[in-house]
Chain A
């Protein structure tokens, strides 16, 4: 397996630290004028999402992590596992609840999401940035109130709760930004 020295560390590089795959967030070269050189590195642990701050001696190296992002179609949830498929090879992968984590509340069957594979198995799931989902539950719509004005919570069919304008009703489809859980607009009915 390849290894990277501190001077190759850059944002997004995937390395192993303390047995866990990590993504480098930031790497700063620190050198006292007459002293030894260090690298102060921020890494995101891809298993836990926690950010670590570590100081390395300049020139130290870390093993690369066998981590890759793949676009996959979300198929279904069988109650225990979430199933995904690579569209070209039709190869299927299953991920458990803890791997899917927060992404679960945005997953709609047949949507394309990013599945991060570590040693070939799903490590994390990232939903598409924008999804179109139907409102399953919300207070009745207020007539005459259009785009501006107040908001109310709406529960979507996948379980996510989003603040929406007052005029929306159960059964309406809306477009949401999954990164901020922000309502973007009403989706056109096909």
Chain B
């Protein structure tokens, strides 16, 4: 690392100007659609429950606080309070996530549409991406269709042994996969994503075990699936959306299950967002929400290969 230039931004000034323009474009996109920009805390007394996302802790007036890993809890509490369609465009923080497409501090766009389901929101995600990236064609596949096409197995029905055999066929691992979901994650991130092609690809109906905060419903084959979708462009995961869970007891159960998973796997355990459960008890209107990695969208818009080409001061220089 040449110390002499470490005060300088890693991103070119051109890319930083595009960053400003893209922020303005996105705000215009939502303003034209009457979606309100909301500010939510990024320093919070509660943390994510997500089994695979770690929070960065802070010390605030002698108490532990957590840097928000996404604005979802704040936004959902506002939707439950009756704010209506809204979005957040700002910082989120995830501990340990650093690499070509990751920086522990990054920018996220997240928005909620009241009365919409995941399929209606997928259309809007496609519209936003097409408009920003000038890619007209949007493809959408179910998670099952994508696996059948690329790997030839039904991800909802294949046994652990079958999935493990597929992983062994396409990848060399230093460990034994611990379960079906780990196999599915490996196949998706190492094999399917890089082969998705150049267009905008929307994937819906994820395995029920990967529902996170999405509703679970039966698909046309009677298999319970998560009403969750993701968006990919050029093999890069850009967005993750849900038809939101509005069932308070179910939300409480999922938080507790995540909690146990984290304990059992020796991961830091944080206080979960009990106020979201209260908000759901009070009544979250039917809605769909999606989070989109702003820096990655900018990478695609600029043709950048690494996230530090679009962030002025990534963690090494922050």
Contact = CB atoms under 8 A, between A and B. Distances in A.
Nearest to A53: B172
A58 B102 CA distance: 14
Interface string B45-77: 000001010000000000000000000000000
A34 interface: yes
Interface in B159-196: 171-175, 181-182, 184-186, 188-190
9 contacts: A17-B174, A31-B189, A35-B52, A35-B184, A36-B52, A36-B181, A37-B52, A37-B96, A38-B186
B268 interface: no
Interface of chain B, helix or strand or loop or mixed?
A: mixed
A35 B210 contact: yes
B85 interface: no
A56 B237 contact: no
B182 A36 contact: yes
Contacts of B212: 34
A54 interface: yes
Interface residues of B, number: 28
Contacts of B218: none
A30 B210 contact: no
A34 B97 contact: no
B174 A54 contact: yes
Contact of B175 (A32, A40, A60): A60
A55 B171 contact: yes
A52 B172 contact: yes
Interface in B92-140: 96-102
B230 interface: yes
B67 to A, nearest CB: 18
Contact of A29 (B50, B97, B174, B190): B97
Contacts of B174: 17, 54-57, 60
Interface in A31-70: 31-38, 40, 52-58, 60
A7 B96 contact: yes
B50 A34 contact: yes
B201 interface: no
Instruction: Report the 5 A-B pairs with minimum CB-CB distance, sorted nearest first.
Output: A29-B99, A35-B185, A33-B240, A56-B174, A32-B189
A54 B173 contact: yes
Contact of B210 (A31, A34, A37, A55): A34
A60 B178 CA distance: 14
A89 to B, nearest CB: 32
Q: By DSSP majority rule, is chain A's interface helix, strand, loop, or mixed? A: strand
A28 interface: yes
A56 B175 contact: yes
Interface string A1-40: 0000001000000000100000000001111111111101
Contacts of A30: 99, 189-190
A49 B240 CA distance: 41
B97 A31 contact: yes
A89 B175 CA distance: 43
Contact of B189 (A7, A38, A53, A56): A38
B99 A32 contact: no
Contact of A36 (B101, B173, B185): B185
Contacts of B99: 28-30
Nearest to B102: A29
A87 B181 CA distance: 57
Contact of B97 (A17, A35, A37): A37
A32 B181 CA distance: 11
Given A34-B210, A36-B185, 11 more contacts: A28-B99, A29-B98, A29-B100, A29-B101, A29-B102, A30-B189, A31-B97, A32-B185, A38-B186, A55-B172, A57-B174
A40 B190 CA distance: 9
A185 B194 CA distance: 45
A34 B173 CA distance: 20
B237 A33 contact: yes
B175 to A, nearest CB: 5
B186 A55 contact: yes
Contacts of B172: 52-55
Contacts of A36: 52, 181-182, 185
Nearest to B230: A33
Interface in B225-261: 228, 230, 237, 240
B190 A35 contact: no
Given A35-B185, A55-B186, A28 B100 contact: yes
A35 B175 contact: no
A27 to B, nearest CB: 8
